[in-house]
Amino acid sequence: MVVLLLYVDDIILTGDHDTTVHSVLQRLTKEFAMTDLGLLHYFLGLQIEYCPQGLFVHQSKYIQDLLQKTDMVQCKPCITPCHPNQKLLNHGSSLYSDPTHYRSIVGALQYLTFTRPDIAYSVSQVCQFMHTPLESHFGAVKQILRYLRGTMDWGVCFRPEDLDIQAYTDADWAGDPNDRRSTTGFVVFLGSNPISWSSKKQHTVSRSSTEVEYRAMATTTAEIIWIQQLLKDLHISSSVPPLLHCDNISAMALATNPVLHSKAKHIEVDCHFVRERVQQGIISLQFVSSTDQYADILTKGLCSPSFSHHCSNLMLGTSQHKLEGEC
């Protein structure tokens, strides 16, 4: 099997047999003007390092360029991208003098979340004020840059392991003080490798923690099903159903107990969507304590010890740190 990933005029070609991959490359070269750049090391800002234990993917050069662009190369590093339980307000300080500059930096930070789930929540917060940023919002952006200054060489390590899917889903109920909407956070693992994550504010206000956790569960279930279909297209299958970890017992009961359905008619579609997948055995649920909830880092600002613990859970760190299995 040969897999070809095409983005505009950039191509990654891989497969399970070197001779076949080379044959496909030769045939493509005959049809199109192409240059073989050899082993993949750099692709759309992503840097790939090869280690005996697997692949290390990071964006160190991208971060360096961003810090130079913002004159933050010599800034003092900080240990977290935002303050614990940080909530940005849409009032309380003066307007930032250069909104275009703000949007440019935040847009660049969005691309950086492809390999840095540790800044996903902080970047999601500052993205919500693109229209009329305040001085306090730009202060939050500068803290993210200071954090990146101290973790420039961080990335994610991918190791060859069993291809079982497990996911963690969490939500911060009514966490936004401006409109009382909640934040959904999830991370999906293939084996122990994080392959998908998200931190995003929900579209509607939820009236209970059960409702907001269930909406997060439905969003994560949709992501799992999409990943399953992608793996199926790649002829990859697993002998066990994906495992979805949740730290809200009421939301888990809602996914399995139809008696509770009458109490949650306002989230009827999500109820049916998740419950059907559970009943069909497409996914299975498992309770996880809040301290072991990996998605916690994607829903709120954490204190330094908890933040570092979850970064380690997400296989984040330098290539040496992760390959040695340090915490």
List the single range of 18-22, 160-164, 269-273 with lowest mean pLDDT.
269-273
The domains found in the chain, sorted by start residue, are 2-38 (no CATH), 161-304 (3.30.420.10)
pLDDT: is 222 or 206 the higher one?
222
List of E strands, the chain: 2-7, 10-15, 42-43, 46-51, 54-58, 155-158, 165-172, 183-190, 193-201, 243-246, 284-287, 316-317
> Quick one: pLDDT at residue 197?
97
Distance CA 57, CA 50 (A): 9
Distance CA 116, CA 109 (A): 10
pLDDT tens sequence across 147-199: 999 999 999 999 988 889 999 999 999 989 999 999 999 999 999 999 999 99
Average pLDDT of span 123-143: 96
Distance CA 126, CA 140 (A): 7
Burial 281-294, CB ≥16 within 10 A → b, else e? eebebeebeeeebb
Q: Are 171 and 212 in contact (CB under 8 A)?
A: yes
Choose among 138, 285, 173, 129: nearest CA to 218: 285
Distance CA 33, CA 35 (A): 7
Angle at 157 between CA 156 and CA 163, to 5 degrees: 110
pLDDT tens sequence across 49-107: 998 888 999 999 999 999 999 999 999 999 999 999 889 999 999 999 999 999 999 99
Taking the complete model, does pTM exceed 0.85, yes or no? yes
Distance CA 196, CA 115 (A): 10
Q: Are 214 and 268 in contact (CB under 8 A)?
A: no
Average pLDDT, the chain: 90
> Quick one: pLDDT at residue 2?
92
Which residues, in sequence order, are CB contacts of 292 under 8 Å at separation 6+?
none
**pLDDT higher than threshold 50 for residue 222:** yes
Q: Are 58 and 158 in contact (CB under 8 A)?
A: no
DSSP state string for 208-236: SHHHHHHHHHHHHHHHHHHHHHHHHHTT-
